[in-house]
Chain A
């Protein structure tokens, strides 16, 4: 019975130890070993003492407890008492507990400073523990098939008699991240369509929540659909107003959200590019100033049906000399270009102010989306007749607009920045991803002066393009999307006689974006 307190004590220690160590199997085994050690100690040291004590008791049952303790005190120091043994064992267990505790503290501390490597549904990333340094690897690949109708015009010379083509429309590995909390960077080349193009390469310094300064090559803050991320556009190709909007350009802009995030502003100075074009260097003397304000007045009001309403206006102003813009159909075929200069005969080119204006807006509610965009581009153009020694100069104003509506059949909430399917494709669970349908109309009008002043030729370039299209999107999961579109574009003039044949194109796309 003398062992009872020791057993109770050890049991308590075990319970405490288990509590500290969450009772894992490994730790339980450790405890078990300690128990065995305790048992061994008991067997080797304490049992004989007990036996001896029992013998003493037999010999002289009148010996008091106090006398026994006194006797124990008189034992040589090399023979520890039961109490000392228990205390020693207690210290050992306490030390083990503490060492384990320190290990756990160290592990927690390490977690705080450990770099976080992520790979999952949110993509691939490396992040410092404090979030001040982030590196993300992203990618976009779009494999397209374009099938043109038999009577599409003009014949697609590069494709011979068979206008059907597969094409890698975009292949974009993207490296982006943050350093020292406030400096974001992005580097995105594009290897699509057999070319290597640097699309984005910039550093954005977020000095204030309401102010970021961005240097490098980026999208100019102008066209609404152009500013929508390529992976989120509803149709395979953007509509006709994007022909007017500048694409990527090199410069500097300030941008930010003010008024509690309900108003976004951007103001930038760029080299200046042709309509719909990108460039890496400026070859003309002027710079473009581009500004855009976009309001989402109900953004913070989650109960308002107008929460998804946004509208704004973008303006660009600059100076262009020389090269002139061309405009493409939905099927990416040129439907308008200015006449070419002929050595010794004529010289035609941009010559002065280039101004663009674009009122724009969208509305998203539940699964429904609507986008409207109007763009106009004014450019002074000069044509010199080198034979007659005459010069013609005029401001040409081309306009374009579009309206589209979309609806997600599977009920997800539509937004400008896309959505994630509620039920990613998984046939075993009868999950099929998300489905979306959309329809749009867009129109492009070339200024009549372009033809009457002899800057372009009506037998080669259309004076108007009207395009309508329908789209069906299948979002298998957050990363994978299949799409099929039908687009028809009707032209006014643009042929030797009468109107150019309509362009009928079926396009499909397999896209991976992460």
Chain B
């Protein structure tokens, strides 16, 4: 009898010890991994520091946030393949949806945060060399003979998909929803692309640092960063007459956050993006803030853009993805 008790006691002790790592006290330091897309490096460096300070003051807990960046599609694939992100902050909702379909994120992820879980927006613009020597003003100019266009690969980059759809959506609107004309324009543009980088930051490197191409199709934040920080005397931004409203989305990765016992702090991390400080940091890094007060404060740095949304032009990401970027889709047909 005594032995039996000892056995059960031992097993209970073993289970308690085994469960010990799962029990995290409030004051214990914690780590988060934010898997993000290419051009958000600087944004999240600043934001992470601000959040860590905020969280320390609020709870007394020290938090360290690690970042991972790459093409949005590639990053989503990495998470699905086992990169244990606590949160994802990706270029487009479709990539978050893909992770959700893999069972790592709850189906209601988009409704867990305001603005469909897109705390800031951006748009797609052109970055040209100072003086705009090739006189590039409109999407059609990108399809002209002799124009070298830099944009990343839509198969791996969320930003590239926004670029592609911006051109296509523009053509649809301009030519009365004539798909053949849209296809013709996008085909001509991609014929002018000599290098397809895997992510937006790579394309910026190609255009800005390597001096390749006449125009970079870029996130507005990336273009503003290049102009303001890399040289106003070297580049200038051109906003086409019509472009797309890009809505990068964020979510807690429920499975991994649950495993790491970080769900609460991961959710707080994303919620803080909507705070005044979070919005201000986004604006400082040239992302358009959602909060009106901060948007007004930073209105001077964002040119007025005539935008359309993915839902308006394509009926949502799922439809756009299927028609254009899935294997055998339009992009595969026009870029071989």
Q: Are A318 and B3 in contact (CB under 8 A)?
A: yes
Given contacts A207-B17, A207-B20, contact A99 B195 (CB under 8 A): yes
Residues of A within 8 A of B20 (CB): 207-208, 211
Residues of B within 8 A of A98 (CB): 195, 206, 210, 212
Q: Are B210 and A97 in contact (CB under 8 A)?
A: yes
Q: Are A269 and B11 in contact (CB under 8 A)?
A: yes
Q: Are B17 and A289 in contact (CB under 8 A)?
A: no
Residues of A within 8 A of B212 (CB): 91, 94-95, 98
Q: Are B210 and A289 in contact (CB under 8 A)?
A: no
Residues of B within 8 A of A99 (CB): 195
A350 near B: Cβ within 8 Å? Answer: no
Residues of A within 8 A of B303 (CB): none
A252 near B: Cβ within 8 Å? Answer: yes
Residues of B within 8 A of A95 (CB): 194-195, 212
Given contacts A95-B195, A97-B210, A207-B20, contact A287 B7 (CB under 8 A): yes
A439 near B: Cβ within 8 Å? Answer: no
Residues of A within 8 A of B13 (CB): 254
Interface majority SS on B: helix, strand, loop or mixed?
helix
A197 near B: Cβ within 8 Å? Answer: no
A168 near B: Cβ within 8 Å? Answer: no
Residues of A within 8 A of B17 (CB): 207, 211, 213, 254
Partner of B10, one of A106, A132, A211, A289: A289
Would you give the shortest CB distance from A342 to chain B, in whole angstroms? 31
Q: Are A289 and B6 in contact (CB under 8 A)?
A: yes
In the bound assembly, the distance between CA atoms of A418 and B82 in angstroms comes to 37
What 0/1 readout, one digit per residue, does chain B (206-248) give for beta carbons within 8 Å of chain A? 1000111100000000000000000000000000000000000
Interface size, chain B (Cβ < 8 Å)? 23
In the bound assembly, the distance between CA atoms of A101 and B198 in angstroms comes to 12
Would you give the shortest CB distance from B71 to chain A, in whole angstroms? 11
Q: Are B3 and A319 in contact (CB under 8 A)?
A: yes
Residues of B within 8 A of A207 (CB): 17-18, 20-21
In the bound assembly, the distance between CA atoms of A94 and B214 in angstroms comes to 13
Q: Are B14 and A213 in contact (CB under 8 A)?
A: yes
Residues of B within 8 A of A102 (CB): 195, 197-198, 202
B163 near A: Cβ within 8 Å? Answer: no
B204 near A: Cβ within 8 Å? Answer: no
Residues of B within 8 A of A213 (CB): 14, 17-18
Residues of B within 8 A of A252 (CB): 11, 14
A483 near B: Cβ within 8 Å? Answer: no
Residues of B within 8 A of A106 (CB): 198
B36 near A: Cβ within 8 Å? Answer: no
B148 near A: Cβ within 8 Å? Answer: yes
In the bound assembly, the distance between CA atoms of A408 and B243 in angstroms comes to 78
Residues of B within 8 A of A309 (CB): none
In the bound assembly, the distance between CA atoms of A255 and B7 in angstroms comes to 16
In the bound assembly, the distance between CA atoms of A319 and B2 in angstroms comes to 11
A405 near B: Cβ within 8 Å? Answer: no
Partner of A269, one of B10, B148, B206: B10
In the bound assembly, the distance between CA atoms of A102 and B212 in angstroms comes to 14
Residues of B within 8 A of A286 (CB): 3
In the bound assembly, the distance between CA atoms of A191 and B213 in angstroms comes to 68
Q: Are B18 and A267 in contact (CB under 8 A)?
A: no
Residues of B within 8 A of A318 (CB): 3
In the bound assembly, the distance between CA atoms of A287 and B202 in angstroms comes to 64
Q: Are B14 and A254 in contact (CB under 8 A)?
A: yes
Q: Who on chain B is nearest to A94 by CB?
A: B212
Q: Who on chain B is nearest to A97 by CB?
A: B210
A315 near B: Cβ within 8 Å? Answer: no
What 0/1 readout, one digit per residue, does chain A (74-101) give for beta carbons within 8 Å of chain B? 0000000000000000010011011101
Partner of B3, one of A105, A205, A208, A287: A287
In the bound assembly, the distance between CA atoms of A33 and B12 in angstroms comes to 74
In the bound assembly, the distance between CA atoms of A502 and B283 in angstroms comes to 91
Would you give the shortest CB distance from B38 to chain A, in whole angstroms? 13
Most chain B CB within 10 A, of A98, A211, A289, is at: A98
Given contacts A99-B195, A102-B197, contact A208 B21 (CB under 8 A): yes
Would you give the shortest CB distance from A469 to chain B, in whole angstroms? 39
In the bound assembly, the distance between CA atoms of A97 and B212 in angstroms comes to 10
Residues of A within 8 A of B202 (CB): 102, 105
In the bound assembly, the distance between CA atoms of A507 and B213 in angstroms comes to 79
What 0/1 readout, one digit per residue, does chain B (180-215) give for beta carbons within 8 Å of chain A? 000000000000001101100010001000111100
Would you mind naming 25 contact pairs between A and B with Cβ atoms under 8 Å apart?
Answer: A91-B212, A91-B213, A94-B212, A97-B210, A98-B206, A98-B210, A99-B195, A101-B210, A105-B202, A207-B18, A207-B20, A208-B20, A208-B21, A211-B17, A213-B18, A252-B11, A252-B14, A254-B13, A269-B7, A269-B10, A286-B3, A287-B3, A289-B6, A289-B10, A318-B3
Additional pairs, 9, CB under 8 Å, beyond known A208-B21, A254-B14 = A91-B212, A94-B211, A95-B195, A95-B212, A101-B210, A207-B21, A213-B18, A254-B17, A289-B10
Interface residues of A (CB under 8 A from B): 91, 94-95, 97-99, 101-102, 105-106, 132, 205, 207-208, 211, 213, 252, 254, 267, 269, 286-287, 289, 318-319
Q: Which 9 A-B pairs have the closest CB atoms?
A: A95-B194, A94-B212, A98-B210, A98-B195, A207-B21, A269-B10, A213-B18, A287-B7, A269-B7
